[in-house]
A = this chain, B = another copy of it.
Amino acid sequence: MAKKTGFVEDPTPLLRAGRSVDLSSIDPNSTPGFNGKKADGQALLAAEAVELSELQERLFAASREGAPDRILLVLQAMDTAGKGGIVRHVVGAVDPQGIEHHAFKAPTDEEKKQDFLWRIEKQLPGPGIIGVFDRSHYEDVLVHRVKGLSPQEEITRRYGAIKDFERDLVAQGTRVIKVMLHISREEQGARLMERLERPDKYWKYNPGDLEDRGLWDQFQEAYQIALRQTDLNDSPWYVVPANKKWYARVAVQRLLLNALKEINPTWPPADFDVEEEKKKLAAS
């Protein structure tokens, strides 16, 4: 009898970083909880997109009647790890009305004058919305640590500020899902080379990418510290192996699905007299 393909075990706990995560022990080629190959992953992605889309519509509908629930998906990763692919292939399956996507670039001069969370707060999703951050406030403890853009005391302060900030979000009804897409240095090399070999990919390449690549180990260390410092039960970090793009996509989709199932949004009841309205409509 053929063995079941797809997730044979719920990946959510398997991917959870926890307070003592060791990135070097997580294989970027692995596919935690999943049995099968690329074609199986792609089939599952398509199949579960329908469920994701339905749950999102319920989340949106429930907010119209006052439910506070919303989701914030934070995507962090080294260049080429596949954040864009997650947005296109996972988030893209959902009604655009219910999505707010924001890519955080290097801060502007105006933003630099403010606390690092100032520009983040302006992009938070409202009730019923799935917010997606492509990079986030974590850049302010990652790149800032690696490149010494802020003193160590300030970075230490930020870990605490981030936890307070995210606890507030959770208290307001936000499910926070923080994902580090985890690729290997070798895989990044291959993906950067592909960008240099395809003219339709040149625009994604930046000579500055090689600078960060040269700081690979320092970035891994900064990620490991940040994950350990800011992993909360209510605002967890997940390390998603991402050398196989199809796995990363189906895994993040499952994280979203699980969060939506836990919220379990329900269609709001009518706040009007249905039979009365039917009569009025029939007479109109």
Contacts and interface: CB of A to CB of B under 8 A. Distances in A.
Contacts of A87: 95-97
A270 B205 contact: yes
Contacts of A196: 274, 277-278, 281
A104 interface: no
A151 interface: no
A184 B278 CA distance: 19
B134 A214 contact: no
Interface residues of A, number: 45
Given A196-B274, A200-B267, A267-B202, A210 B280 contact: yes
A200 to B, nearest CB: 5
A193 to B, nearest CB: 6
A132 B96 contact: yes
Interface in A14-62: 61-62
A36 B280 CA distance: 37
Contact of A210 (B189, B202, B267, B281): B281
Contact of A202 (B103, B202, B207, B274): B274
A97 B196 CA distance: 22
A268 interface: yes
Contacts of A180: none
A268 B201 CA distance: 9
A92 interface: yes
Contacts of A274: 196, 202
